[in-house]
Amino acid sequence: VAPAAAQGLRLLGAALDVPVDARAILGRSGDTAVLAAPNGWYLLPLHGRTTPSRVSLPPGRRLLGTLEAGQLALLDGDALLRFDPVSGESSTLARLPRDQSRNAAMQVAPDARTVLVAQGDDQLVYRLEAGQLKPLGKLAGEARAQAVALGRDWIAAASYDGARLRVYRSADATLAAEHVLDAGRVRDLRVLDAPARVAAASFGPELRVFALDDAAPPRTLSLPRGAQALAWLPDYPTLLAAGEGGLALWRDPGWLDQSHAEVASAAGALHADGGGVLLLDAQAHRLYRYAYGHLPIAAQHDLGKDEAWAVHVDAGSGDVFVGARDGAVYRLHGGQLDTYRVHADGVTALDGDAGHLASASDDRTVAIWNLPSMSVQWRTRGHDFLVNQLQLQGNALWSSSSDGTLKRWRWPTLEEEASIDLRKLNGGAPLSLHAFHVDATGRRAVVGSWNHLLLLVERAGERWQLQKLPLVSSGGYHVLDLPEVGLVLVQGTLPTRLYAWDWQARALYDIPDFGLDFFALVADGSGAGALAAGTGVVAHYRFGRDANGEPRWFAALGLASDLGALSAADLDAGRHRLWVADGSGRLLALDSADWRLPPSHSGVAKRRSTLRAEP
């Protein structure tokens, strides 16, 4: 385990002044903090000295809560909206049932899947399915609860007298656990989905922590002068508690760091995610920013200002190639960084072997570069729209596109050998393809799309067949084969989710993402694991099977907010070095020997859906 100081908090710069009526932190959207205000919110840039801007809710709209990725849940008449507080864009999630009062007290879970509506003394539980709110049941008496906290998987309620804590499953509104709380008045209540934890702060010096997965016994913590606001981070996990005595960190079994004097005076004044920690002192009207965690950076190279979209490492030479949003291809060779240009738009994917490098672009072309000269051997219009992903499989190069096709090209001469029109297989309905994996036979593929669908493509004789599974994620951003465990790992984005497809069982499983934002996914070299990277995180996932043959996962989470928003990665397994690039033009090298990731969380994957084989 890394030293406590390396894994703690570091204050970043001077505090930012906030308006006097900024009440709480609603969330973070990129580099902007969203602060609650009467009948609206403030947008406060976290870098520079820009004055916060106020956004007022128009008549008829009501703020219900915060969603994932800094989005907000609003009620507009009978419409439940997902609202981007920075861009102002919104989409309708569902409409309230006709018999439901628009003025009732409501809460929405971060993933917008669970909605609570107070009715008398009870909480009615609705589940969002296919654009409709379906009633699950009611939580008797819980409308009188002092505090209710919602996660993706859990609903936690502290009773009106503070005597007990009840935790319900979001999926079916059934009681999962009941604990003696004996807190009197409850100041704050926070739930962590994975690993499953609940923390409650009372008006005294005591805090209570409960492990819903029975991984640890209930804990009673004492913090001088108590805690006003709580937040969770999933790495160990870590509980952050802030009050009049300052800001402190706790990891079972004890306090790690109580040296920060900044205070929080109300629930909601503390926010923590992969980007770090924010603390609002509503009395002094200041916002404090902290870096959290640390992963040593072995090397750093400046690529410019454009976001990196692809990273590829040549295993033999150790050369690192980066594809950027502006169309440039960079090569790092022997410490020297060179820039090459052939594409007119962003480079979306890279792959290759010892003699050649392939690049795909939003300019609709695929190019083949000779190595080590970096001269362009071939460049062709690969698809009718954006080319999104490449996979080198033996003597074939496969590509996917937003035009709905998968294509196979002869390697490395780039002669088109086959084109599979998935839109045609889908009855002509739109499909925009992104990541994919074609197996060694070339006769079946797992394909991610930008249509909230995972596509399973198989060849029967001379005919291709298509089956579809719905995903929470709008995009299937990475697809990775894990041959040692018979799984195909899928990383979705917008929002981040992880899934595992089992061809033999023809089943799709949910894999915990711990509420973190992942953008990159690469094999760890074992055939049974992967490294995921994103906003302030590098995570190592390993997989096996339990006694019943079901997938079992293990995940170690390395949080380090100073890494920024990592957008692409590749592993140099022989040199034990992970190369990552970010949205601001940095290429970083992380040596696995220096990681010292926290102990792994583990569990059996939950089966999401099953498909029958097509005849």
Is residue 139 classed exposed, middle or buried when 0-12, 13-18 and 19+ CB atoms within 10 A define those classes? Answer: buried
Residue 325 has pLDDT above 50, yes or no: yes
Is residue 222 classed exposed, middle or buried when 0-12, 13-18 and 19+ CB atoms within 10 A define those classes? Answer: exposed
Q: What is the pLDDT of residue 614?
A: 61
Q: What is the pLDDT of residue 102?
A: 87
Mean pLDDT, residues 100-122 taken together: 94
Residue 3 has pLDDT above 70, yes or no: no
Mean pLDDT, residues 134-153 taken together: 95
In which band, very low, low, confident or very high, does the pLDDT at 1 lie, cut at 50, 70 and 90? very low
In which band, very low, low, confident or very high, does the pLDDT at 596 lie, cut at 50, 70 and 90? confident
Structurally, at CATH architecture level, domain 150-222 sits in Beta Barrel (2.40)
Compute the distance between CA of residue 314 and CA of residue 298 in angstroms, rounded to an integer.
19
What's the whole-number average pLDDT of the chain? 93
Q: How many CB atoms lie within 10 A of CB 383?
A: 23
Q: What would the two tokens of residue 570 be? A: 């590749």
Residue 216 has pLDDT above 90, yes or no: no
Q: Where are the domains of the chain?
A: 58-144, 150-222, 299-606
Nearest to 91 by CA among 118, 108, 105, 112: 112
pLDDT above 90: percentage of residues in the chain: 83
At residue 145, the 3 state secondary structure works out as: coil
The set of residues, in sequence order, having a beta carbon less than 8 Å from that of 111 and lying 6+ positions away, is 67, 68, 152, 472, 495
Q: How many CB atoms lie within 10 A of CB 227?
A: 31
Q: What would the two tokens of residue 395 be? A: 């003597």
Q: What is the pLDDT of residue 39?
A: 93
Nearest to 352 by CA among 324, 323, 328: 323
Compute the distance between CA of residue 250 and CA of residue 231 in angstroms, rounded to an integer.
11
Fold of the domain built from segment(s) 58-144: Thrombin, subunit H (2.40.10)
Backbone angles phi, psi at 423, to 5 degrees: -65, -40
Residues 505-524 as b/e (b if ≥16 CB within 10 A, e otherwise) read bebbbbbbbbbbbbbbbbbb
Residue 199 has pLDDT above 60, yes or no: yes
Compute the distance between CA of residue 272 and CA of residue 279 in angstroms, rounded to an integer.
9
Compute the distance between CA of residue 22 and CA of residue 350 in angstroms, rounded to an integer.
46
Whether residue 495 contacts residue 506, with contact meaning beta carbons closer than 8 Å, is answered with no
Q: What is the pLDDT of residue 2?
A: 36
At residue 251, the 3 state secondary structure works out as: strand
What predicted TM-score, i.e. pTM, was given to this entire model?
0.94
The 10s digit of each residue's pLDDT in 421-451 is: 999 999 999 999 999 999 999 999 999 999 9
**Distances from the Cα of 43 to the Cαs of 12, 244, 561, 583, in angstroms?**
19, 26, 21, 21
Domain covering 299-606 in this structure, CATH number: 2.130.10.10
Q: How many CB atoms lie within 10 A of CB 38?
A: 10
Q: Which tops the pLDDT comparison, 262 or 415?
A: 415
Instruction: Please indicate whether the domains covering 58-144 and 299-606 agree at the CATH topology level.
Output: no
Q: What is the pLDDT of residue 7?
A: 60
Residue 538 has pLDDT above 60, yes or no: yes
Residues 563-573 as b/e (b if ≥16 CB within 10 A, e otherwise) read bbbbbbbbbbb
Whether residue 271 contacts residue 264, with contact meaning beta carbons closer than 8 Å, is answered with no
The 10s digit of each residue's pLDDT in 331-343 is: 999 999 999 999 9
Residue 259 has pLDDT above 80, yes or no: no
The set of residues, in sequence order, having a beta carbon less than 8 Å from that of 609 and lying 6+ positions away, is 469, 470, 507, 508
The 10s digit of each residue's pLDDT in 64-106 is: 999 998 999 999 999 999 999 999 999 999 999 988 888 999 9
Nearest to 276 by CA among 556, 613, 565, 504: 565
Q: What is the pLDDT of residue 99?
A: 86
Residue 615 has pLDDT above 80, yes or no: no
At residue 267, the 3 state secondary structure works out as: coil
